[in-house]
Amino acid sequence: MAQEVRLVDKDGEMVGVVALAKAQELADAEGLDLVEVSPNAAPPLCKILDYGKYRYEQQKKAQEAKKKQKVVELKELKLRPNIEEHDFQVKYRNAVKFIEEGNKVKFTLRFRGREMSHMHLGMAVLKRMEDELKEIAKVDVPAKNEGRQVMMIMGPL
């Protein structure tokens, strides 16, 4: 614990470097708290203020910062290797909507039974989706085989 602190009074005026006991006396005289704001400074910076009000303001700032940040979600679209044209267009429109909202899209292509012997058809579907979306999205995780399914993740540019 430091013996001397740099003190700022309740009005925000710099008092200067004073003894810790003197700073505590000044805070008690005002009926307020002595709060260490910057402990790593030499000497530490302390302010005379109402600690409850200070904590409340800090919480408000944290809430405002949390409100402003955008959480990126991962949306999943499931495809099949022999998908029909209209179904492909529906999946494409959903992917565009998700990407424009700022979310990432995970394409999962599932193979059943003998479809495993025609994996090139599935890869062609994913490649087509990638080509269709290249103006608004980039591939974050390239298409990779995971057992009976192939997965690819695309995110906004």
Of 22-26, 39-43, 83-87, 104-108, the least confident: 39-43
pLDDT at 59: 93
Q: Which amino acid is at 35?
A: V
Q: Residue 112: is its pLDDT beyond 70?
A: yes
Equal CATH topology for 4-67 and 74-156:
no
- pTM, to two decimals: 0.58
pLDDT at 118: 85
pLDDT above 70 coverage of the chain, percent? 99
Domain residue extents for the chain: 4-67, 74-156
pLDDT at 107: 93
Mean pLDDT along residues 132-139: 90
Mean pLDDT along residues 109-126: 88
Q: Please give, one letter per residue, the 3-state secondary structure of the chain.
A: CCCEEEEECCCCCEEEEEEHHHHHHHHHHHCCEEEEEECCCCCCEEEEECHHHHHHHHHHHHHHHHHHCCCCCEEEEEECCCCCHHHHHHHHHHHHHHHHCCCEEEEEEECCHHHHHHHHHHHHHHHHHHHHHCCCEEEEEEEEEECCEEEEEEEEC
pLDDT in tens, 29-79: 888 999 888 888 888 999 999 989 889 999 999 998 888 887 778 999 999
pLDDT band at 1 (very low <50, low <70, confident <90, very high): low
pLDDT in tens, 15-37: 889 998 999 998 998 889 998 88
pLDDT band at 90 (very low <50, low <70, confident <90, very high): very high
pLDDT at 76: 93
CATH code assigned to 74-156:
3.30.110.10
CA distance 138 to 104: 10
Regarding the domain delimited by 4-67, which CATH topology (the fold level of the hierarchy) does it fall under?
Answer: Ubiquitin-like (UB roll) (3.10.20)
